[in-house]
Amino acid sequence: MSQQTASFAAGCFWGVEARFREVPGVIDAISGYMGGRTADPTYKQVCGGDTGHAEAVQVTFDDEKVSYAELLDLFFDMHNPTTLNRQGPDFGSQYRSAVFWHDEAQRDAVLGKISEINASGRWPDPVVTEVSEAPEFWCAEEYHQRYFEKNGGGYCHV
């Protein structure tokens, strides 16, 4: 097994985490916060929009069972990557579309995927997904982890 890490933000992290957990080869998916300036932020702080964090999911996967490219495909299929700081009814920079890369191969893969999507004409507007080196990941509070498994419900509106 070759264990890798990938980090994505695609709006509400509950649905993003649940979708990644369904993928064979995904070992774990954890809801949390990335890309901000406050150490160990709380949900309330992040929702206030002042920390700069995005609701994100850190995915641990076995790259012998699922590729990073396959995870990117799922990421770009689960949300609208052309809406700036908004997914469905949720708006603010904490709901932005972002890929936080962990190595240069991931960076190159996501930049290539964005170019491919933009050239395809799939969306009328260009992809605005933020692409940046993975900063520190802060786990969200326990009640956010596996939220739909604990509370029922479907995916967040994406």
Q: Which residue has the tokens 């689960």?
A: 78
- Note if 12 is an active site residue: yes
Instruction: Let me know: does 129 contact 10? Beta carbons within 8 Å.
Output: no
- Joined tokens for residue 130: 């933020």
Q: Identify the three-state secondary structure at position 13.
A: helix
Instruction: Let me know: does 140 contact 40? Beta carbons within 8 Å.
Output: no
* Tally of CA atoms within 13 A in the half-sphere of 45 that contains its CB: 16
Instruction: Let me know: does 112 contact 6? Beta carbons within 8 Å.
Output: no
- Given the residues 12, 47, 139, 156, select the one marked as catalytic: 12
- Catalytic residues, by residue number, are 12
